[in-house]
Amino acid sequence: MMSIAQFAARTGMVPSALRFYESKGILVPAERHDNGYRFYGYHQIQTAKLVNSLRQSGISLGDIRCFLEAEESTRFQLLERWRREAEARLLSVQIASQYLNGMESDHGSLHLINWEEPLTVIWQPFLVDKPVNSYSREMKQAAAKLRDLNIRTQGSSLIKVIDSLPHAVQIEVGYQVITESSRKPTPLPTSAEAYPETIPPTLFISVDSSWEDTFICMRTIRYLQKFGFEPAGKRLERHFPDSSIFEIMIPVMQTRFT
């Protein structure tokens, strides 16, 4: 048996950390004498090193406890999730580095927008005749239809540009649905005229634009190249009532894995 000081030296940990893990029920000494002295067994060395390594990897105490107590299949699932989360953290740091390296000292041409929670959006298709200088009418029509269906929405309008035809633009107008667990959820429409989509937590690069900005697509591509970003999905536009400015939002990563 080893005292707490000897065990700490053997595992590369400090006694205060061992006491902390004991208080959380994760690494309990093999023996505890009446005088309060703790003694650890040699068989606990590998467990202590594993616990310390997982903590250094950013794993929560709850997950570590679950891992230590779980069967092999559950351990495998936890490891898979941790690997995905570590990859996401690494990518997030990379994106932050790319953004800061590309940003000018006076102001940034691009901005980062993080949707931290999943969003349920109802999309409705429209065909807008060219030349296009507003989606205001289509946004009002989409909002009115959702009100008729007693579907509560919040936030600004979202636009997907599906296709640009010779004489028209094919778009979808979306609104975020308000979900309340305290009441019975309203059935969401699923048809050719409207359908729901759950957008996962996502990190976007956004660029402010206006209808007068005819070179926004070229500018956006140039910005992405400058900052070193790769799109991770189809772009969205976020439009605000009574504003000529809208945001072009390009997904660069999903920020949470299930």
Is residue 208 located within the same domain as residue 116?
yes
Can you say whether the dihedral through the CA atoms of 59, 63, 64, 70 is positive or negative?
negative
Q: Mean pLDDT score of the chain, rounded to an integer? A: 86
Is residue 132 located within the same domain as residue 208?
yes
Does position 18 have pLDDT exceeding 90, yes or no? yes
Nearest to 124 by CA among 189, 194, 192: 194
Is residue 118 located within the same domain as residue 47?
no
Report the CATH number at residue 189. 3.20.80.10
Average pLDDT over residues 165-179: 92
Does position 196 have pLDDT exceeding 60, yes or no? yes
Please report the pLDDT score of residue 257 as a whole number: 46
Is residue 19 located within the same domain as residue 129?
no
Is residue 23 located within the same domain as residue 145?
no
pLDDT digits (tens, 9 = 90+) for 111-128: 888 888 889 999 999 999
Assigned domain for 88 exists: no
Question: How far apart are alpha carbons 134 and 137 in whole angstroms?
Answer: 8
Indicate whether this model's pTM tops 0.75: no
Is residue 17 located within the same domain as residue 132?
no
Is residue 164 located within the same domain as residue 217?
yes
- Name the domain count of the chain: 2
Assigned domain for 226 exists: yes
Is residue 165 located within the same domain as residue 45?
no
Please report the pLDDT score of residue 189 as a whole number: 76
pLDDT digits (tens, 9 = 90+) for 20-44: 999 999 999 999 888 888 999 999 9
- Domain containing 162 equals 111-254
Assigned domain for 94 exists: no
Does position 107 have pLDDT exceeding 60, yes or no? no
CB neighbour list of residue 241: distance below 8 Å, 6 or more residues apart? 156
Mean pLDDT is lowest, of 54-58, 156-160, 194-198, 227-231, for 227-231
Average pLDDT over residues 4-32: 92
Is residue 60 located within the same domain as residue 115?
no
